[in-house]
Structure 1
Amino acid sequence: MSDNTTLTDVIMPQLAESLVSATIGKWLKQPGDPIEQYEPICELITDKVNAELPATVDGTMAELLAEEGQTVSVGEIIARIAVAGAAPAAPAAAAPSPEAAGGSSAPAASGTAPQTHSAAARPSAPAPAYDAAAPMRSRYSPAVQSLAAEHGINLVAVPGTGLGGRITRKDVLAFLASGAAAQPAASAPPAAAPAPAAAPPAPPVQVAQPDMRDELQPVRNSGLHLSESPKIPTIEVERGRDGMSEYLIDVTPIRNTIATRMRQSVSEIPHAWTMIEVDVTNLVVLRNKLKDEFKRKEGINLTYLAFLMKAVVSAIKDYPIMNSVWAVDKIIVKRDINISLAVGTEDSVMTPVIKKADQKNIAGLAREIDELALKTREGKLRLDDMQGGTFTVNNTGSFGSILSYPIINYPQAAILTFESIVKKPVVINDMIAVRSMANICLSLDHRILDGVISGRFLQRVKDNVEGYTPETKLY
């Protein structure tokens, strides 16, 4: 390592206020690999969602201090990046920031809190004092980074209201709404010049970072593909005396969370369930009529789930109590209808959320379903994608199921499953006809919902689904 090479610590960020640790899922960079700023260097697994950790500087991966599968506490160093040449100028600009902004100024926009230390600079390195003053200020979530890059916002100028001075997504949106984002972006380079104690070249580099991220974003790769054998869970083979083998699979944080929430759901919620049979013949005709044109226009498949979700959302409008949670001494009815969509992967089930689903038409719901399903299976869900759900819909019919008893997505009041469409002989006006039929199953929290209201809700869903005609519009 040359004398002018600086090592930058990569620290485990706090991806959400409730998270105190994360697991290294997979290292995307190995020692000796070149790294570009904002390029993902590893995948992090939490009990809520997977996330990529981007680099804060250009350089070369020097060493990995945490192994794949290791759970690391927030704030611990997990790797070091070697930065050569003029790169050490960036930490110099961070030195006067605590004096000018009370220690709340952040370095590069990233999910890590870099601390720069070289053999020559260690005695006077300002990084420890900076972290002590604002430990969370420089730890940006992927959602914050993405939003800042999209609007060209320099996160150094955004006030943070989160834990430890951390900048949240709401802070970025408030900063954007205030109109302060455009002015600093245009005037940042000349405004940075008067700073007497800072290295002059550093501020313009920070302002340019969002643009660099935009250029890099299209070629970013999650590094995780379903065709690969993931590092987690690991499988161990234990041989008994008789020569038989047992396969031991490590419980991942996501699987542990699923187990915890399912146990909490069945132990705290008095489950009841009911089912109704629906004639979807008209829906099948409608979808077959529109699916090819929709595929050409939108580039995605038009599934039955989008029609069902529209029918469910319309029924929830008529029966708002379905959109509620139990709060011991009261029942909280949610104003927004945010539909959690159960999406299965090879090793887990995730429930990303379609926000304000009642404000979307069938085509809009179809786009949201396709986008969230793709992000789930590619491991690219953000924490924001998983939060705020008020009612869950699951398409168990995609597996050929005709009847199921779903477990409620705690703490919601109900979950609905759409079963497989099967052609059956049905009696209509004392005559037998072959119709496309499907079962819709509803599990309900009996503390909140009773048979009458649940039955009426299911009947309304049935009426909405059977009300589709070949003239129904998608937009």
Structure 2
Amino acid sequence: MSKFELKLPRMGESVAEATLTTWLKEVGEAIEMDEAIFEIATDKVDSEVPSEVEGVLIEKLFDVDDIIKVGQTVAIIETEGEAEATKITKAAAVPEETLAAVEETVQVAKETVATPRQDYSATERFYSPLVKNIAKHERISIATLDTIPGTGKEGRVTKNDILAFVANGHDATSAPVAKAIASPIESEPIQVATEEPTAHTKSATTSNQVTRVQATGGDEVIEMTRMGKLIAKHMVDSVSTSAHVQSFIEVDVTNVVNWRNKTKDAFEKSEGEKLTFTPIFMEAVAKALKKYPMMNISLDGDTVIKKKNINIGMAAALPDGNLIVPVIKNADQLNLVGMAKVVNDLASRSRENKLKPDEIQDGTYTVTNVGTFGSVFGTPIINQPQVGILALGAIRKIPAVIETSEGDFIGIRSKMYISHSYDHRVVNGALGSMFAKAVADYLEAWDINREL
């Protein structure tokens, strides 16, 4: 027998660490080659880390929510061969308190080998591997486990919570705890601390007032997802950081619509890809960033960083209602066919949660398509540390004045609004408006006879 160190692999040049979100295997379980062992999160991307060898998981060196550096050993796998053996250096990489917790988890796992395996996937509540092992050993059902009050972070059940539950003589069919935990939601208000009010609101409230949000018996209390919390914090931080200003412009995209309708079937037949409006818009934005490079910047304190590469973030809605922003790297170097392939690939893998951490890094400007959901225009929040974001509104057929050499007349045109949010600390109204106008001019000048 030999021992193999499973390390956190590199996930891209700009990714140095990740958060361990879920253990998919328990100590003592057999592992096959390329089988996922644990899940990690970097920013908003979740990824599975597979085993490089076949064997048995004998040690976990990190707990859920721990931050792991690339190259650190995360788990020890016992193998039958000698070829994969590596020197174990867990003491140098892992804090003593973490090792103590791991040893306790291993001990519980050894004591419960004969205990029938229980499935805790039916609940959305988080439980650490140690708590799960204790629950299995004590034969606590998932329904009963869900009723145990948690004193840990965000109401999580700790080792002491479940041991106290067991010590009080409760078993898998115990009902008193379920009754005790059901009532506080109806009787105890949820307290949310608010920021100190500004001067014009102090007359209506005190500076240290706490807003109480009451959850009544008919209300549903929903825990925010990890991704939802990250997005919420990112949005609040952006509004607190940047001086948001918006410019709006109406764009006649009749030529774009007609060209796409004429070309899309041939494009799909020749390229094996659907031709949506998105790559066309991305091409326009890339050209505008090339024309106005001071929109392709970041602000670091009092220093402006002018980006060499044009990397456009493409906001994509996920099935669960959250949002993710994969990045089209070097967008200005792609032709329309290449842009369509990249856009379709990133959009597809976003929906399937298959993006790599590096594919949401290093964006220099962002585009979001609010028109997908019927919005005519929007006022998007800047994706920090960028200084601008463009919202694409819905394309609508509307009556419009058409100017010709023979006079003006009313006709049906396909039009849309684009909304440009920019950071007024470094982007003035002239630049912000000229950039939006450049995008509009490019789209309105689209050649209806253009070849792919």
Matching residue's letter, 1:299: G
Q: Does 1:355 align with 2:329?
A: yes
Using a 3 Å threshold, how does the CA distance of structure 1 residues 423 and 26 change in structure 2: closer, same or farther? farther
SS of the residue aligned with 1:248? coil
Matching residue's letter, 1:338: N
Matching residue's letter, 1:400: G
**Where does residue 434 of structure 1 map in the other structure?**
412
Alpha-carbon distance in 2 for matches of 1:373, 1:471: 28
**Where does residue 200 of structure 2 map in the other structure?**
none
Pairing partner for 2:89 from 108, 111, 128 = 128
Q: Does 1:317 align with 2:290?
A: yes
- In the TM superposition, residue 321 of structure 1 has moved relative to its aligned partner by 1.1
**Where does residue 54 of structure 1 map in the other structure?**
50
For each residue in 1:222-251, what CA deviation from the matched residue of structure 2 results, as whole angstroms up to 9, or x when unmatched? Answer: xxxxxx999588999874156324323144
**Where does residue 271 of structure 2 map in the other structure?**
298
Matching residue's letter, 2:344: D
SS of the residue aligned with 1:263? helix
Q: Does 1:83 align with 2:79?
A: yes
Matching residue's letter, 1:263: V
SS of the residue aligned with 1:89? coil
For each residue in 1:383-434, what CA deviation from the matched residue of structure 2 results, as whole angstroms up to 9, or x when unmatched? Answer: 2212211111111111111110000111111100111111101111331111
What is the 5 A alignment of 1:113-124? Answer: none
Preserved contact between residue 24 and residue 66 of structure 1 (Cα < 8 Å): no
**Where does residue 343 of structure 2 map in the other structure?**
369
Pairing partner for 1:281 from 250, 254, 262 = 254
For each residue in 1:298-328, what CA deviation from the matched residue of structure 2 results, as whole angstroms up to 9, or x when unmatched? Answer: 2221110111111111112211111112234
What is the 5 A alignment of 1:14-53? Answer: 22-25=19-22, 27=24, 29=25, 35-53=31-49
What is the 5 A alignment of 1:257-276? Answer: 257-276=230-249
Alpha-carbon distance in 2 for matches of 1:230, 1:304: 40
SS of the residue aligned with 1:427? strand
The farther-off stretch of 235-244 and 383-392 is 235-244
Q: TM-score, normalised by structure 2?
A: 0.66
SS of the residue aligned with 1:74? strand
**Where does residue 240 of structure 1 map in the other structure?**
186
**Where does residue 396 of structure 2 map in the other structure?**
422
Alpha-carbon distance in 1 for matches of 2:287, 2:126: 41
**Where does residue 401 of structure 1 map in the other structure?**
375
Pairing partner for 2:307 from 334, 343, 349 = 334
CA RMSD in angstroms, aligned pairs only: 3.2
Preserved contact between residue 19 and residue 67 of structure 2 (Cα < 8 Å): yes
- In the TM superposition, residue 34 of structure 1 has moved relative to its aligned partner by 5.0
- In the TM superposition, residue 78 of structure 1 has moved relative to its aligned partner by 5.8
Using the aligned pairs only, state the percent identity.
Answer: 36
Q: Does 1:449 align with 2:427?
A: yes
What is the 5 A alignment of 1:127-206? Answer: 127-128=88-89, 132=92
SS of the residue aligned with 1:434? strand
Matching residue's letter, 1:442: H
- In the TM superposition, residue 365 of structure 1 has moved relative to its aligned partner by 0.9
Matching residue's letter, 2:186: G
Preserved contact between residue 35 and residue 58 of structure 1 (Cα < 8 Å): yes
- In the TM superposition, residue 264 of structure 1 has moved relative to its aligned partner by 1.8
Alpha-carbon distance in 2 for matches of 1:349, 1:361: 27
For each residue in 1:111-138, what CA deviation from the matched residue of structure 2 results, as whole angstroms up to 9, or x when unmatched? Answer: xxxxxxxxxxxxxxx4239x85xx69xx
Q: Rg larger in 1 or in 2?
A: 2
- In the TM superposition, residue 63 of structure 1 has moved relative to its aligned partner by 7.2
Q: TM-score, normalised by structure 1?
A: 0.63
Preserved contact between residue 15 and residue 358 of structure 2 (Cα < 8 Å): no
Preserved contact between residue 20 and residue 66 of structure 2 (Cα < 8 Å): yes
The farther-off stretch of 228-237 and 18-27 is 228-237
Alpha-carbon distance in 2 for matches of 1:230, 1:323: 45
Alpha-carbon distance in 2 for matches of 1:25, 1:422: 45
Using a 3 Å threshold, how does the CA distance of structure 1 residues 404 and 355 change in structure 2: closer, same or farther? same
Using a 3 Å threshold, how does the CA distance of structure 1 residues 335 and 56 change in structure 2: closer, same or farther? same
Matching residue's letter, 1:399: F
Preserved contact between residue 341 and residue 354 of structure 1 (Cα < 8 Å): yes
- In the TM superposition, residue 26 of structure 1 has moved relative to its aligned partner by 6.1
